[in-house]
Structure 1
Amino acid sequence: MYRLRGHHIFCLLGYRGMGYSKKYVENMTRLHHTLRKHPETLVQLVNGPDQLCENYPNSGEYHCQDDHIYQMDASFLEKIGLKIGQTLKWADIESHIQNHVIPSDIQSVCKTCSWRSYGFCEDGIQLILDGKGLKEIK
């Protein structure tokens, strides 16, 4: 089982093998690969730092405890109709995304994200909407 905070669900949709450090990328890629290959994997939705935050680099500002990050988490979970404390299969999270999200939502729910400008997240949402799951990372 993996522990994930709200906004990291959306980060996984747009993930393309880039990140804050080598260690962070390795961890994110491992999680992404597991969820892609095994959508029955259980995910617990947590309030605050999760297993991705554990590998956030120590160089620079640690934003995982910032109030605006907690607000983003809450907004994402509300958007997809889920709550902190729930444990469900990744496939069920994808179903919630299919029922509650469209690609253009990224422009509003992720408006402060520095990764938004790449356009990967809209593509990731479309893959979920098309029933293709997470994009393969090589």
Structure 2
Amino acid sequence: MLTLRAHHLLCIQGYRGYGYSKNFTKNMNNIVCSLKMDTSIQVKIITKTDIICSCCPNNVTGKSCCYQCKVRYLDKKVLDLLQLEKDKVYYYKDLLNIIHNKITYESFKNICGICQWFHYGYCKKGLIANNI
């Protein structure tokens, strides 16, 4: 089972192999590859540091993000839009279906427009590939 921040569900869709550091990119590559290879993986949705955050240089002492207000906002917006429950376990394939059915370009822009990665367009391309 993987444990993921709610907003990381969207980050994963647009991930293109770029990141904050080599260590972050290696970790993210492993996570994304695992999810793509096996969509029956169970995922627990949380709103605190997760396996992706574990290798992020913005992770402060392993427990918080130096952009904590922003990531809490992103998590809440994703939980609300996708109607997911915090601390609940889902199959990744079910999460993909929920994303496909509930994310529009406008809702994606509303949630992720504040992210530093937004202007690169990677997430948009990844989500559009999933028909938003």
Shift of 1:118: 1.1
Code of the residue aligned with 2:85 in structure 1: it is K
2-side partners of 1:98 and 1:110: how far apart?
Answer: 16
Partner of 1:72: 74
RMSD: 2.0
Task: Report the count of equivalent residues.
Answer: 129
Partner of 1:54: 54
TM-score by length of 1: 0.85
Partner of 1:40: 40
* 1:81–1:100 contact (8 Å) kept in structure 2: no
Partner of 1:16: 16
Percentage identity across aligned positions? 28
TM-score by length of 2: 0.88
Deviations 1:42-80 (A, max 9, x none): 1000121001111112699x7356122112101011111
Structure with higher strand content: 2
State whether structure 2 residue 8 is matched by structure 1 residue 27: no
2-side partners of 1:64 and 1:39: how far apart?
Answer: 31
SS at match of 1:88: strand
Code of the residue aligned with 1:127 in structure 2: it is A
* 1:17–1:29 contact (8 Å) kept in structure 2: yes
